[in-house]
Amino acid sequence: MKYLITGGAGFIGSHLVDKLIEESHEVTVIDNLSTGKKENLNPKAVFYNIDILDPKVSQVFEKEKPEIVFHYAAHIEARESVKDPLSDAKTNIIGSLNVLENCRKFNIKKTVFASSGGEIYGDATVIPTPENYPPNPISPYGVAKLTIEKYLNSYFKIYGFKFVAARLGNVYGPRQNPNGEAGVIAIFTNKMLKNEDCFIHGEGKQTKDYIYIEDAVRATINLSKIDFVGAINISTSKEISVIEIFNKLKELTGYKKEAQRSDFPTCGFKRGSLSIKKAKEVIDWSPEYDFDKGLKLTVDWFKDRKNNDDA
């Protein structure tokens, strides 16, 4: 198969590229390297340094002739979207529509969209939250993800455009960017290894649902191979609090400092966990990595990177 992946130099996208190439597929990557990194790029992939807003995206589709598209390029930080909703919408809505229009124009067999489970459901009262729970995003980032899901559903009804919106939990693992606002595991691990202060919002009792990168990629590829159309949760259905993560990482890294406190963000929510009953039924999938195993693999990767940087 011929695949095109937007955001293929980023955290999740680059792992997806690696897995598809490992399976002997042809892969094209579109990434503007604003947050993605060249060192994440698989040398066997065809790479275009292009923003998803650029009209040249159409030329890539025309030349490379992909059959399936994974749309993973995005501005991913919810708190930044609160500060600048226009910028977030420009990338996550208008940029995404540019990708979708090319998928429609070039008759792509299927498009898999990286949506967000936690951000779309917001402060849900049903935990773990199923796909039929009324969406109630708090952040503009979550609103943008839901908007693209609505566009995808519209395209399907009007044009017969096949898609899956993968409502991902909080994906973590090697290559995650530790320097942004998103990705508490990467942020804490990086700071602990540098013996820097770690900040926890509020009391740290807020929970989310974390999924290791290998499990997320395996599920995503499975979704591209079936006839299912619609939204589906991909995560673990297990709540873990921020303070639990902090304490586990302290033990793994040997960090001696106590957590510093900061204000709870206006777009934050107290609990989050996704039901994966549908994923188990539709793609016969369930996560294989428990949290402690995934956390250790992640910390080991960050330790190796730090040792290489220090050498």
For the annotated catalytic residues, the residue numbers are 141
Residue 304 vs residues 1, 42, 301, 308: alpha-carbon distances, Å: 34, 19, 5, 6
Contact 205, 272 (CB under 8 A): no
C-alpha span between 132 and 231 (Å, rounded): 9
Reported as type and span, the H/E element at residue 153 is helix 140-159
- Determine the Cα angle at 181 with ends 97 and 100, to 5°: 10
Residue that the structure tokens 């960017």 belong to? 177
Q: How many residues does the chain have?
A: 311
Residues 6+ apart with CB under 8 A from 157: none
The H or E element containing residue 242 is helix 242-253
Residue 70 has phi, psi (to 5 degrees) of: -105, 115
66 and 108 Cβ atoms separated by less than 8 Å: yes
**140, burial (CB in 10 Å: exposed 0-12, middle 13-18, buried 19+):** buried
- Map residue 76 onto helix, strand or coil: coil
- Before 178, cis peptide (omega within 30)? no
